[in-house]
Amino acid sequence: MDECRENIESLREEIARLRKTVDEREHQLVTFFDITTRVLESDDVVEQLNLVAEGITRARLFRRAIISLFDEDYSRVDVGYSGLEPEEIIEHRRKPSLPQEVWEEILSERYKIGESFFVSHNTELNARIGGIKSTLDEANFADGWHPSDMLFVPLRSSRGNLLGVISVDDPFDGTFPSHENLRLTELFAREASEIIERGDLTRKFFGMQQYLTQLIESSSDIIVSSDADGKIVLFNSGAERIFGYSAEEVEGRPISILYEDGDEARKVRQLLRENDGKIESLEVSARAKNGEVIPISMSASLLFDEKGNVIGTQGISKDLRPFKALQRNIEELQRKETIRLVAVTLSHHINNYLQSMLICGQNVEEILQDKKVDFTDKSARNSVEKYLAELKLNGMRISRLTNILSNPPEKLAIDEYLDGIKMLQLPNDMAVKIESHEHEFCTIDGVCPRILIADDEETIREGIAEFMRAHGFIVETAKDGAEAIKLIEKNYDKYLAIISDIKMPHANGYEVFRKAKELRPKLVVILMTAFGYDENHALVKASQEGLKAKLFKEKPFDMNNVLRVLRETLAEK
Encode pLDDT of 418-430 as tens digits. Answer: 556 677 666 666 6
CA distance 61 to 67: 14
State the pLDDT at residue 202: 53
| Strand 474-478 versus strand 450-454 pairing type | parallel
Beta bridge partners, 300, equal 279, 315
- 535: pLDDT strictly greater than 70: no
In the structure, what pLDDT confidence band is assigned to residue 231 with cuts at 50, 70 and 90?
A: very high
295 preceded by a cis bond (ω within 30 of 0): no
CA distance 58 to 50: 12
Most confident of 17-26, 301-310, 351-360: 301-310
Instruction: Name the residue with higher pLDDT: 440 or 400.
Output: 400
Distances (CA, A) of 259 to 66, 266, 316: 61, 10, 14
Residue pair 511/527 in contact (Cβ under 8 Å)? The answer is: no
In the structure, what pLDDT confidence band is assigned to residue 12 with cuts at 50, 70 and 90?
A: low
Q: How far is CA 545 from the centre of its chain?
A: 51
| Strand 232-235 versus strand 222-227 pairing type | antiparallel
pLDDT digits (tens, 9 = 90+) for 194-216: 777 776 655 555 555 565 556 56
Q: Which helix (H) or strand (E) holds 5?
A: helix 2-41
State the pLDDT at residue 53: 86
State the pLDDT at residue 548: 47
Residue pair 454/480 in contact (Cβ under 8 Å)? The answer is: yes
Extended beta strands in 243-395, E state: 278-287, 293-304, 310-319
CA distance 67 to 90: 15
Q: Which long-range contacts (CB under 8 A, 24 or more apart) does 117-121 make?
A: 117/151, 117/152, 117/153, 117/154, 118/149, 118/150, 118/151, 118/152, 118/177, 119/149, 119/150, 119/151, 119/152, 120/146, 120/149, 121/146, 121/147, 121/148, 121/149, 121/150
- 554: pLDDT strictly greater than 70: no
- 336: pLDDT strictly greater than 50: yes
What is the mean predicted confidence (pLDDT) over 497-503?
Answer: 87
pTM, to two decimals: 0.40
Residue 544: how many CB atoms within 10 A of its CB?
9
Count of residues making up the chain: 573
State the pLDDT at residue 4: 63
What is the pLDDT of the chain when averaged over all its residues?
78
Q: What percent of the chain has pLDDT over 70?
A: 73
Beta bridge partners, 436, equal none
State the pLDDT at residue 131: 83
pLDDT digits (tens, 9 = 90+) for 272-301: 888 888 988 889 999 999 999 999 888 888
CA-atom Rg of the chain in angstroms? 52
209 phi, psi to nearest 5 deg: -60, -45
pLDDT digits (tens, 9 = 90+) for 356-405: 666 766 677 667 766 566 666 677 777 777 777 777 777 777 777 777 77
Q: Worst-scoring range by mean pLDDT, 16-20, 80-84, 560-564?
A: 16-20
Instruction: Name the residue with higher pLDDT: 114 or 409.
Output: 114
